[in-house]
Amino acid sequence: MPGKMMALMSVFTLELCLASGNRLAEILPYKAVYSAKYNGLPITAVKTLTQTSNSHFLEELRASGLIINLREASNFRVSDNGQLTPLDYQIDRSFMGITRSESQNFDWEEKNAHYQRGEKSSNTPIEIGVLDIPTQYMQLRRDLAVGAEKFEYSVISRGQHQTYRYEFVRHEMLATPIGNLETIMMRRLRQNDTRVTNLWLAEDWHYLLVKLEQIENKKDYSMLLQEAEIGNKKVSTVNRSN
């Protein structure tokens, strides 16, 4: 699978938000099913969150389509003060019969992130506060929960330091197979204007991803929530989660 497609699939790695400061929202186990299209090709993805200990969590994505199969798993922990700390990330994917794997492991004692792709590897210095792609999405939702106005995150992706920035676009009632959901639309800011990424997040359901649209080099990718369950409560238009 091309690197750009992998980055797109990483968008599935979305988490329920945590509130910061003196108000820490609970991270609830969930299961979300999405339908997606990549240049017209259908994809189905199932995303789950499991709590593996008091402070450790595992996110897992299994996605499949006509020419795509992917398994993505990431482990992270949450400190008592709400700090998100990525631990490791693994992705195994098959695209048109070509299978590849990548991993990124965070050694917090040595303050080093080790990235491996095939025979290629790299090491990057890290410090507390740096995130990976899954946890930066998580932090975005935490910031939305407390009404933040600035959304900027230091991220280690594929062994390299990057800065992810987002802007608020609008509130929108979005039609889905579940029903009409109140969402907040966010857009990722990029220096390259030819790449556009828009996210719609459910305001009443811990800012769970509802819809994604991305356009890049005349290629398009989209996804839409089909059904979900959060903390043993089914996502619906009848009751809110909070």
DSSP letters spanning 49-92? EEE-SSSEEEEEEEEEESSEEEEEEEEEEE-TT--EEEEEEEEE
Minimal CA–CA distance to 75: which of 41, 115, 106, 102? 106
Within 10 A of 41 (CB to CB), how many other CB atoms are there?
A: 12
Is the pLDDT reported for residue 78 higher than 70?
A: yes
Distance CA(177)–CA(33), nearest Å, equals: 11
Torsion of CA 1, 121, 102, 200, to 10 degrees: -80
Q: Among 149-158, 183-192, 210-219, whose mean pLDDT is lowest?
A: 210-219
Region 202-208: what's the mean pLDDT? 92
Mean pLDDT within 146-173: 93
Q: What's the CA gap between 186 and 191, in Å, rounded? A: 16
pLDDT-derived band of residue 145, with 50, 70 and 90 as boundaries?
Answer: confident
Cα–Cα distance, 82 to 109 (Å, whole number):
19
Q: What is the pLDDT of residue 200?
A: 97
What H or E segment, with its residue span, contains residue 220? strand 219-230
Instruction: Give the separation between CA 34 and CA 209, rounded to whole angstroms.
Output: 10
**pLDDT given at position 13:** 43
8-state DSSP, 25: P
Asked which of 113-117, 130-134, 192-196 is least confident by mean pLDDT, the reply is: 192-196
Q: Of the given ranges (55-64, 107-116, 212-221, 226-235), which has the lowest mean pLDDT?
A: 212-221
C-beta separation of 71 from 59 below 8 A: no
Tell me how far apart the alpha carbons of residues 201 and 119 are, in angstroms, rounded to a whole number: 38
CB-CB contact of 3 with 157 (8 Å): no
Q: Which of 34, 220, 8 is nearest to 133 (CA)?
A: 8
pLDDT value for 86 = 96
Segment 179-201 mean pLDDT: 90
pTM of this prediction? 0.83
In percent, the amount of the chain with pLDDT more than 90 equals: 52
Torsion angles phi and psi, residue 5, rounded to 5: -65, -40
Measuring CA to CA, which residue among 90, 150, 154 is closest to residue 127?
154
The rounded percent of the chain whose pLDDT value lies above 70 is: 88
Mean pLDDT of 200-204: 95
